[in-house]
């Protein structure tokens, strides 16, 4: 075969990464070398889509010049430059010239040696002292929290918080209630009370439900009783108005002539102008994109069902498009799941909308801007300021911290936000833009942990439509740790999942009682029968025992990784815990033969000591999901000191020989009757004191 010549040919260019590309290698039917190669042409004013990949890559610039952005750094490139790009680096190339093409040749290849990630211990050293602020979207107090709420941001944030406590990280968790949603006034009108009464009643009920679910927050903010909330909201929006960051627009608004009310958020239903699915005002729960109410398809009043008319009103708007560059740069470094990233990228392919910041209403925070005093702030924009106000409450009670800026503007802190996909646009696009407009020194969150919808009987949970299992009701019937484990195991992380009481009962019976309790009680009985209830020291080791110990190390790494923000998955963690128990039960069955041979007593001691090591790791690794069980098991194993002071040693340490175990009949997962009896006993003792 003779040689092959390929030239840059405009007729062979096709779209790739939002620019023009001509593939060179491999050549079909001719050669498939251990590398790929292509010409890329970036036309004037264009740029490659921001992306990363597992291949290493080298660029040779043949024409033009541009700016390369990689992992937050920027550098000019020009003819003659040879550029190496390592695997997984987020990069984009911009041709800022208005006349000349930017042409480069890329050569890319796989190299497994280059795919080795930074060792965990080195990464941990860099972040160990950094404060972590965790937020969960403040819920709307128009009903109690339902199981869909609990399965998402509130339990997730609590699990993440406890996992960081186990690692010795300084961590704080805040949420609160979102009083000023007009879903509150909508509910109040149906139950015959004021919006304030409804917000207060359900806000405190929500806090009680979180307490019952063992979800611990450092701050649960009630706007009405906060010393910081309204001053911060006023400062935030008066600053934006004064600095020209808000614009005045005469624009159409929906008005119900029958109810004599402007329609937005809870008061209007229609179909999404982007995906045509049924939607409320403000944002579509299906595609996640915002709407401006007046652009809803087939809108109708949610009170009387009448079609509204359009009225031109003067309101304040926030122009998102002005912050496109900041949002693009931010999205290159913040971690989020693929569904959330798709929403952000799809919105950024079009001109970003202007968002109405004020509405005609009698419920909500007043607009602190001259000429708009008779309007109320858009509650989702208000929430951005609310996060800062709640952080100031946290700062007031945290030693060594004086201001919300110590969390939001410091290199020594990071923010991780938990929310549902239906709240995604607000957190990933609206809030970062508002923060930048208010104060460019604010560092938006480093990670978004986003959940999908938890379904009930195949349909979405809905407080407004009363299609729910209330959290407080379920937790009065089922012990919190049983509920927490089932929600962690089945929660809607990357896709929608469904809840049923039958599935919850099956999880408890099959896993927590049938596997976990059976193993722990059997192990304890063996220790009492063979070692007088004391932890044995290891003796001789067999090959199978070494393999089991290595498997414990693997499971330890897998579960801990599932607790990290970037890879956060309570599902994976819960499954890993179940696998640890099953692995230990299999190991126990395999090792029983040593027990029958008196001359192999040392081997049997090692087997039992290794099982106890697995039990110790179960206590530590389950603590974020099952804190009460973990502490119960920790005490049962005879460990002194707090479980939360134990570090994540590798390899997993053995229990100290000689420690005395608790009784074999230990109730590791009390049912609700036992829990209520314990609570009542405690109340009686308190009353007697």
Q: Class assignment of domain 10-115? A: mainly beta
Beta-carbon contacts of residue 219 (< 8 Å; ≥ 6 apart):
172, 173, 174, 175, 176, 390, 391, 393, 394, 397
Instruction: Please give the average per-residue pLDDT across 4-18, as a whole number.
Output: 89
Name the E strands within 193-323: 219-221, 247-256, 261-262, 268-271, 278-280, 297-301, 309-319
Task: For residue 249, give the 3-state DSSP assignment.
Answer: strand
Task: For residue 605, give the 3-state DSSP assignment.
Answer: helix
Distance CA 574, CA 577 (A): 5
Nearest residue to 147 via CA among 450, 462, 572, 427: 462
- pLDDT category at 222 given cuts 50, 70, 90 is very high
pLDDT, one tens digit per residue, over 254-281 is 999 999 999 999 999 999 999 999 999 9
Out of 166-170, 575-579, 624-628, least confident range = 166-170
Asked if pLDDT for residue 654 goes beyond 80, the answer is yes
Burial class (CB in 10 A: 0-12, 13-18, 19+), 125: exposed
Task: For residue 314, give the 3-state DSSP assignment.
Answer: strand
The full 3-state SS of 191-229, as one line of letters, equals HCCCHHHHHHHHHHHHHHHHHHCCCCCCEEECHHHCCCH
Peptide bond into 26 cis (omega under 30): yes
Helices and strands, counts by H and E, the chain: 21, 26
Output the average pLDDT for the chain: 91
Q: Class assignment of domain 129-236+377-452? A: alpha beta
pLDDT, one tens digit per residue, over 278-304 is 999 999 999 999 999 999 999 999 999
pLDDT, one tens digit per residue, over 389-408 is 999 999 999 998 999 999 99
Report in angstroms the alpha-carbon separations of 613 from 214, 588, 617, 643, 678: 27, 13, 6, 14, 30
Instruction: Please give the average per-residue pLDDT across 608-615, as a whole number.
Output: 95
Instruction: Find out whether 186 and 142 touch, Cβ atoms under 8 Å.
Output: yes
Length of the chain equals 689
Q: What are phi and psi of 547, to 5 degrees?
A: -60, -40
Distance CA 2, CA 386 (A): 71
Beta-carbon contacts of residue 684 (< 8 Å; ≥ 6 apart):
none
Asked if pLDDT for residue 463 goes beyond 80, the answer is no
Out of 32-36, 233-237, 334-338, 428-432, least confident range = 32-36
- pLDDT for 109: 87
Out of 28-37, 400-409, 568-577, 608-617, least confident range = 28-37
CA 388 to chain centroid: 19
Distance CA 374, CA 463 (A): 30
Instruction: Find out whether 246 and 317 touch, Cβ atoms under 8 Å.
Output: yes
Name the E strands within 101-226: 102-109, 131-136, 171-176, 219-221
Say what angle helices 155-166 and 570-595 make with each other, to 10 degrees: 50
Beta 131-136 vs 413-420: how paired, if at all?
parallel
Report in angstroms the alpha-carbon separations of 425 from 157, 159, 595: 19, 24, 60
Report in angstroms the alpha-carbon separations of 86 from 50, 89, 91, 114: 15, 6, 10, 8
Q: How far apart are the first and last CA of the chain?
A: 97
Give me the residues paired with residue 355 across strands: 318
Distance CA 266, CA 539 (A): 68
Instruction: Find out whether 544 and 591 touch, Cβ atoms under 8 Å.
Output: yes
- pLDDT category at 129 given cuts 50, 70, 90 is low
DSSP state of 659: P
Asked if pLDDT for residue 686 goes beyond 50, the answer is no
Beta 358-359 vs 376-377: how paired, if at all?
antiparallel
Beta 413-420 vs 447-451: how paired, if at all?
parallel
Distance CA 45, CA 99 (A): 8
- pLDDT for 475: 96
Q: Regarding the domain delimited by 514-676, which CATH topology (the fold level of the hierarchy) does it fall under?
A: Isoleucyl-tRNA Synthetase; Domain 1 (1.10.730)
- pLDDT for 88: 75
Name the percent of the chain lying above pLDDT 70: 93
Beta-carbon contacts of residue 183 (< 8 Å; ≥ 6 apart):
140, 142, 265, 266, 463, 464
Largest alpha-carbon pair distance within the chain? 99
pLDDT, one tens digit per residue, over 466-521 is 788 999 999 999 999 999 999 999 999 999 999 999 999 999 999 999 999 999 99
Asked if pLDDT for residue 683 goes beyond 50, the answer is no
pLDDT, one tens digit per residue, over 83-118 is 999 887 888 999 999 899 999 999 998 776 665 544
- pLDDT for 16: 87
Beta-carbon contacts of residue 54 (< 8 Å; ≥ 6 apart):
87, 88, 110, 115
Q: Nearest-5° angle of CA 152, CA 153, CA 158?
A: 110
Instruction: Find out whether 427 and 419 touch, Cβ atoms under 8 Å.
Output: yes
List the domain boundaries for the chain. Answer: 10-115, 129-236+377-452, 514-676
Nearest residue to 140 via CA among 149, 151, 128: 149
Nearest residue to 249 via CA among 171, 312, 161: 312
Distance CA 561, CA 569 (A): 9
Burial track 282-313 (b if 16+ CB lie within 10 A, e otherwise): bbbbbbbbbbbbbebeebbbbbeeeebeeeeb
- pLDDT for 4: 85
E strand or H helix at 674: helix 672-688
The full 3-state SS of 55-92, as one line of letters, equals CEEEEEEEECEEEEEECCEEEEEECCCEEEECCCCCEE
Asked if pLDDT for residue 125 goes beyond 80, the answer is no
């Amino acid at each position: 075969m003779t040689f092959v010549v390929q030239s840059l040919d405009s007729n062979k260019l096709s779209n790739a990464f939002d620019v023009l590309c001509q593939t060179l290698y491999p050549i079909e039917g001719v050669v498939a070398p251990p590398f790929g190669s292509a010409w890329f042409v970036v036309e004037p004013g264009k740029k490659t889509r921001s992306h990363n990949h597992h291949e290493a890559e080298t660029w040779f610039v043949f024409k033009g010049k541009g700016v390369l952005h990689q992992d937050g750094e920027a550098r000019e490139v020009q003819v003659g430059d040879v550029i190496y790009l390592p695997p997984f680096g987020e990069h984009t190339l911009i041709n800022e010239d208005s006349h000349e093409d930017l042409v480069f040749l890329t050569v890319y290849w796989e190299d497994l040696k280059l795919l080795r990630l930074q060792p965990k211990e080195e990464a941990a050293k860099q972040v160990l002292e950094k404060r972590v602020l965790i937020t969960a979207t403040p819920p709307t107090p128009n009903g109690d929290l339902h199981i869909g709420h609990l399965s998402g941001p509130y339990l997730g944030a609590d699990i993440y918080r406890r996992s960081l406590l186990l690692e010795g990280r300084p961590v704080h968790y805040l949420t609160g209630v979102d009083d000023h949603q007009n879903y509150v006034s909508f509910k109040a009108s149906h139950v015959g009370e004021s919006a304030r009464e409804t917000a207060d009643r359900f806000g405190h009920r929500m806090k009680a439900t979180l307490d019952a679910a063992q979800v611990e927050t450092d701050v649960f903010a009630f706007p009405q009783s906060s010393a910081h909330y309204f001053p911060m909201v006023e400062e935030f929006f008066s600053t934006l108005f004064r600095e020209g960051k808000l614009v005045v627009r005469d624009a159409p608004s929906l008005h119900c002539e029958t109810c004599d009310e402007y329609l937005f958020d809870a008061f209007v239903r229609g179909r999404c102008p982007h995906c045509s699915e049924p939607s409320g005002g403000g944002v579509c729960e299906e595609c996640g994109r915002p709407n401006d109410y007046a652009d809803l398809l087939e809108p109708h009043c949610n009170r009387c069902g009448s079609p509204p008319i359009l009225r031109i009103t003067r309101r304040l708007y926030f122009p998102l498009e002005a912050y496109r560059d900041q949002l693009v740069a931010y999205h290159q470094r913040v971690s989020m799941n693929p569904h959330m990233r798709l929403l952000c990228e799809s919105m950024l392919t079009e001109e970003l909308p202007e968002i109405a910041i004020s509405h005609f209403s009698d419920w909500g925070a007043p607009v602190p801007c001259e000429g708009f005093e008779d309007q109320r702030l858009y509650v989702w924009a208000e929430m951005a300021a609310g996060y800062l106000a709640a952080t100031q409450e946290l700062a007031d009670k945290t030693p060594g911290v004086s201001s919300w800026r110590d969390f939001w503007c410091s290199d020594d802190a990071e923010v991780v936000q938990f929310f549902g996909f239906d709240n995604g646009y607000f957190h990933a696009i609206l809030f970062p833009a508002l923060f930048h407009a208010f104060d460019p020194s604010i560092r938006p969150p480093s990670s978004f942990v986003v959940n999908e919808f938890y379904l009930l009987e195949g349909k979405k949970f809905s407080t407004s439509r009363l299609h729910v299992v209330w959290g407080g009701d379920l937790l009065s019937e089922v012990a919190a740790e049983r509920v927490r484990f089932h929600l962690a195991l089945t929660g809607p992380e990357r896709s929608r999942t469904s809840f049923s009481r039958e599935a919850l009962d099956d999880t408890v019976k099959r896993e927590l009682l049938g596997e976990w309790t059976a193993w722990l009680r059997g192990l304890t009985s063996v220790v009492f029968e063979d070692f007088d209830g004391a932890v044995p020291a290891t003796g001789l080791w067999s090959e199978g025992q070494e393999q089991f110990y290595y498997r414990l190390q693997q499971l330890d790494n897998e579960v801990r990784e599932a607790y990290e923000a970037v890879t956060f998955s309570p599902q994976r963690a819960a499954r890993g815990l179940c696998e640890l128990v099953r692995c230990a039960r299999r190991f126990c069955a395999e090792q029983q033969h040593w027990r029958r041979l008196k001359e192999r007593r040392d081997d049997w001691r090692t087997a039992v000591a290794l099982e106890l090591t697995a039990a110790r790791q179960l206590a530590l690794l389950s603590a974020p999901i099952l804190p009460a069980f973990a502490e119960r098991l920790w005490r049962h194993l005879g460990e002194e000191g707090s479980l939360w002071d134990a570090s994540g040693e590798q390899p997993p340490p053995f229990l100290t020989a000689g420690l005395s175990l608790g009784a074999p009949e230990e109730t590791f997962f009390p049912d609700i009757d036992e829990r209520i009896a314990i609570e009542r006993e405690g109340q009686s003792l308190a009353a007697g004191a």
